[in-house]
């Protein structure tokens, strides 16, 4: 009987325990969970030091961005199957993950049958996209939103989606702002002009719907949107 070696990763231990039991229920083929972790960086270390056929993982971690996580895994083990289990069904995010080299993507709200179908598909060399992947980015996995009455648009109240709304450079500058650096110091660190830093700062505040530096710092603390 075939048995696939699986690594699973998610920030929530209860979810991991449940997923492990579900996977090991299947008899043909068999799925053996050889490791599980709550950290994106630990996941990379586990994959580097293990023989693994597939990784079932979330992309929402406080210690690493999804692009970096998937990219590093692909560099370490090009042939391993990557299956994302996420609460986020925004099509732009899903497309980004596939562009980076994943094999399957499904929502955590899906049932066991969908999970096993997805695994069968990716192990047979197919790409799998689960049902109910949202085409609209306005809602997060919990359907929670905040109405900005001035601009009349929906701003996601969610650490992951707030972070994903920013470009790589904006995230970098946001970290410097949080640590108290002035535009001048940030420009020197990044070898860009103060004007460019100022433009990035304005874009950050607009995207995060804050009016001043105090509101920005409060938002960072409240939603923990920085990669530590």
Higher-scoring residue by pLDDT: 95, 58 = 58
Q: What is the pLDDT of residues 165-209, one digit of tens each?
A: 788 888 889 889 888 888 999 999 999 999 999 999 999 888 888
Mean pLDDT computed over every residue of the chain = 84
Band (157; pLDDT cuts 50, 70, 90)? low
The pLDDT of residue 61: 87
pTM equals: 0.68
CATH, domain 145-223, list 3.30.70.580, 1.10.287.1260, 1.10.10.10, 3.40.50.970: 1.10.10.10
CATH, domain 3-129, list 3.30.1360.120, 3.40.50.2300, 1.20.58.1610, 3.30.300.30: 3.40.50.2300
pLDDT reading at 12 higher than 90 = yes
CA distance 224 to 158: 9
What percentage of the chain reaches a pLDDT higher than 90?
A: 50
The pLDDT of residue 106: 95
Q: What is the pLDDT of residues 46-85, one digit of tens each?
A: 999 999 999 999 998 878 888 999 999 999 998 999 999 9
Query: What residue segments make up the domains of the chain, in order of their start?
Result: 3-129, 145-223
The pLDDT of residue 218: 84
Q: Are 208 and 162 in contact (CB under 8 A)?
A: yes
Q: What is the pLDDT of residues 102-132, one digit of tens each?
A: 999 999 999 999 999 999 999 999 999 998 7
What percentage of the chain reaches a pLDDT higher than 70?
A: 87
- Comparing C-alpha atoms, which of 27, 186, 4, 148 is closest to residue 79? 4
The pLDDT of residue 1: 55
């Amino acid at each position: 009987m075939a048995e696939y070696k699986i690594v699973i990763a998610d920030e929530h231990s209860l979810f991991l325990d449940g997923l492990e039991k579900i996977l090991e229920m299947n008899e043909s083929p068999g799925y053996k969970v050889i490791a599980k972790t709550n950290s994106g960086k630990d996941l990379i270390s586990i994959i580097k030091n293990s023989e693994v056929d597939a990784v079932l993982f979330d992309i929402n971690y406080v210690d690493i961005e999804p692009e970096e996580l998937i990219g590093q895994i692909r560099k370490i083990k090009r042939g391993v199957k990557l299956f994302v289990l996420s609460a986020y069904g925004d099509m732009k995010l899903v497309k980004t993950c596939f562009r980076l080299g994943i094999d399957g993507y499904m929502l955590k709200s899906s049932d066991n049958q969908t999970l096993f179908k997805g695994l069968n598909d990716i192990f047979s060399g197919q790409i799998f996209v689960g049902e109910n992947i949202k085409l609209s980015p306005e809602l997060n996995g919990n359907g929670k939103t905040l109405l900005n009455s001035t601009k009349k648009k929906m701003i996601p109240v969610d650490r992951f989606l707030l972070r994903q709304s920013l470009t790589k450079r904006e995230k970098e500058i946001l970290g410097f702002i949080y640590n108290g650096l002035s535009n001048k110091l940030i420009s020197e660190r990044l070898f860009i002009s103060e004007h460019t830093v100022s433009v990035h700062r304005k874009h950050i505040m607009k995207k995060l719907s804050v009016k001043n530096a105090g509101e920005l710092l409060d938002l960072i603390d409240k939603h923990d949107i920085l990669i530590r």
